[in-house]
Structure 1
């Protein structure tokens, strides 16, 4: 405990803000594609902070069409607002795009932050941006992302609504009617009927909060948003994921340095989980409660396990010439994958593969293949290949395909088994020789290269003030 306490004191003795800025500068020296911005006040104190690493950029290129921006998390020591940018990957799990701290929730701060995020992502804007109900944030979004569809997270909306229910809070029939308006209506006509019925039955037509909520209906009602891509976040299955997207806890004594360290560990955990889901999707085929027709087998081969699921009943129209379908649920338009209703129609018309126009790469097993290959090629070029995940996943996919191809025939199985035995023996010899060489090198040289990076343009900052800060100036380091 004393040792841990000593390490903690050493981490903050140099100034909490300065330590974090130094960590960001160090990360940049190790990762040339690392990006960060520090915004200072007139006294040299941090008021806004933003960063993202190179993998976050690659993830955003693939999954950045839908972004969740959550400002409901704070570090209470300085009252700074932690505002992460989060996306949904091909396994329908959260992936981090960037993290930021802002000193206040003014439109000016949000404009600065969104412009910084946009620059960090090479100018790419999200198709849909999910936020809470902050008015100043809503005013900043069209200034920076004029073509982005601004949505309201259902989870936050429900939490805010509960505080407005009053005596209706204990009325289950009212809550059911409200939830149907949120995400239970198929189209706009049904939504309008349900909303009007709820307003009349519970005498809410003159309620100012519900009036304002209705004026924002296009930002939260699933019935009015089915023509816009949202990766399914507006559905109840994903809404809870936007609740404190970072997913860890801090307290009023948590310093900025501690928060940064915890955040980095959280990102590493998310990426380890992603490796696990990637590996599982590659090595196995999901099952279905329905007979595995050729079409369903193709879906199982193409999509990740999370995307391979069943649905309910709808009336679907089908054009056999162009192999196009139209379903009232509009799942493809909203989420990016064909619904089960459409798959059933295609199956009935003896279509054995999902038409290419309905396969969105972001949901497939190979969504990040080019990223892994690029990282591996760069590491090989530099002679620093230490992240084996890309190569491992690539080889697992190759060998698994070979096993599936050969397992039905005894002769092909025998060829594969003999090749494995031969390759295994050759690899053992290589590893043994490499270990012998490494031991010899250590015994003869005993020299270890110092790889510590330094930079002359480290941002110098003071500790954070505990009140809101005015008079902004920027210190930018990339």
Structure 2
């Protein structure tokens, strides 16, 4: 890391101190080295704490930004709200990506949030970070962002980079396998066909498959981040428009403008939801009407897509066991292995499907 300019660093610290004096819910911490140089800082305002209390089950922790002239790592903590939009939980600048640095940052984040750790945290593929998460968040699920994984994988493909069939198969392993059996078969066939048995990167990737394979991660809420589209949206949206000459002070203002923009959009979404029902291709009665009343406009559109998809599905009773009913559900134009099984308990009105979309996305 380049030596920080005293005036620039002090200006940011002064802004943090001023924010703390103006807002008693504002939180920040600064870490210095033996020479009294600032090497790490973290901050969050009161609204970020409120958002974390509501939406903090899932958190994306991104350390891919080095867009300032000191080569500091910008590390925002981001979540997803009920409009399927990004919300900021906090942000940090850190001097390096060593385990002890991540431990300090995660402990500081945890303290700022009243000791509440996220249920699931998504990061890029960094071992030092993984070590810190295991130490500070021992009960948190650690998963990898597919957007980062795909981006980094390209450099490992070698000559296979030009093979579209291989790349499509690799993507299928990431997020297009329906279940563990299909994933294992697809992965094994890919490794065999392309002679990757002794490729260290693919071997190591397989050993941590539980951290990235969507077929193995449908049993918990991930706010849709397991899908590559949601992951890409989250990470791209934090792409602050800084560059190698951007000072710390300038970057701090850019961050503030980004957060303001997100919050303005959230206010607009809240206003729209409170003043109009969504338009639908279906009559606004029954299930559609109920969904329109309880979901935000964004979530209603997702629900309507699933509702339309269900119109092409065929369901048959698979078993009856006392009060329990089982159904086989399959889209009429899809192959046999894509069928899902639904269990219904009328005594509790509980329904579970092997697709687990409700558990994963809500």
Settle same-fold status: TM greater than 0.5.
Answer: yes
Verify the 8 A CA contact 1:73 1:244 in the aligned structure 2. Answer: no
Shift of 1:173: 1.3
Gaps of 5+ in 2: 310-330, 332-339
Verify the 8 A CA contact 1:35 1:51 in the aligned structure 2. Answer: yes
2:270 pairs with one of 270, 278, 289: 278
Within the alignment, does 1:203 sit opposite 2:195 as a pair?
Answer: yes
TM-score, structure 1 normalization: 0.66
Equivalent in the alignment of 2:111 = 119
Equivalent in the alignment of 1:161 = 153
Verify the 8 A CA contact 1:80 1:103 in the aligned structure 2. Answer: yes
Equivalent in the alignment of 1:240 = 232
Measure, in 1, the Cα distance between the counterparts of 2:218 and 2:28.
36
Verify the 8 A CA contact 2:55 2:81 in the aligned structure 1. Answer: yes
Measure, in 2, the Cα distance between the counterparts of 1:161 and 1:133.
11
Measure, in 1, the Cα distance between the counterparts of 2:128 and 2:236.
20
Verify the 8 A CA contact 1:75 1:256 in the aligned structure 2. Answer: no
From the superposition, tell whether residues 226 and 253 of structure 1 become closer, same or farther in structure 2 (CA, over 3 Å). same
Equivalent in the alignment of 1:318 = 344
Shift of 1:159: 0.4
2:353 pairs with one of 317, 322, 327: 327
Measure, in 2, the Cα distance between the counterparts of 1:70 and 1:321.
44
Equivalent in the alignment of 1:83 = 75
Measure, in 2, the Cα distance between the counterparts of 1:305 and 1:245.
20
Shift of 1:142: 1.0
- 2:142 partner SS: strand
Verify the 8 A CA contact 2:173 2:213 in the aligned structure 1. Answer: yes
Shift of 1:243: 2.5
Measure, in 2, the Cα distance between the counterparts of 1:171 and 1:291.
47
The one-character-per-residue Cα deviations of 1:381-417 (angstroms, maximum 9, x if unpaired) are xxxxxxxxxxxxxxxxxxxxxxxxxxxxxxxxxxxxx
From the superposition, tell whether residues 294 and 219 of structure 1 become closer, same or farther in structure 2 (CA, over 3 Å). same
Measure, in 1, the Cα distance between the counterparts of 2:285 and 2:164.
42
Q: Tell which has more relative contact order, 1 or 2 (C-alpha 8 A, sep 6+).
A: 1
2:58 pairs with one of 59, 63, 66: 66
Deviation larger for 188-197 or 107-116: 188-197
Equivalent in the alignment of 2:220 = 228
Shift of 1:292: 3.7
From the superposition, tell whether residues 290 and 214 of structure 1 become closer, same or farther in structure 2 (CA, over 3 Å). farther
1:136 pairs with one of 120, 128, 133: 128
Q: Which has the higher strand share?
A: 2
- 2:104 partner SS: helix
2:246 pairs with one of 254, 273, 282: 254
**Match runs of 1:351-362 below 5 Å:** none
Verify the 8 A CA contact 1:155 1:242 in the aligned structure 2. Answer: no
2:13 pairs with one of 21, 25, 49: 21
Measure, in 2, the Cα distance between the counterparts of 1:291 and 1:212.
52
Equivalent in the alignment of 1:194 = 186
- 1:38 partner SS: strand
Measure, in 2, the Cα distance between the counterparts of 1:70 and 1:245.
11
1:301 pairs with one of 251, 272, 293: 293
Verify the 8 A CA contact 1:72 1:244 in the aligned structure 2. Answer: no
TM-score, structure 2 normalization: 0.87
The one-character-per-residue Cα deviations of 1:100-140 (angstroms, maximum 9, x if unpaired) are 00001110000000000000000001011000011100011
Deviation larger for 241-250 or 196-205: 241-250
Verify the 8 A CA contact 1:70 1:245 in the aligned structure 2. Answer: no
Gaps of 5+ in 1: 1-11, 337-478
Measure, in 1, the Cα distance between the counterparts of 2:354 and 2:278.
27
* Structure possessing the higher radius of gyration over alpha carbons: 1
Measure, in 1, the Cα distance between the counterparts of 2:143 and 2:102.
16
Verify the 8 A CA contact 1:67 1:130 in the aligned structure 2. Answer: yes
Within the alignment, does 1:107 sit opposite 2:96 as a pair?
Answer: no
Deviation larger for 236-245 or 194-203: 236-245
Shift of 1:278: 0.8
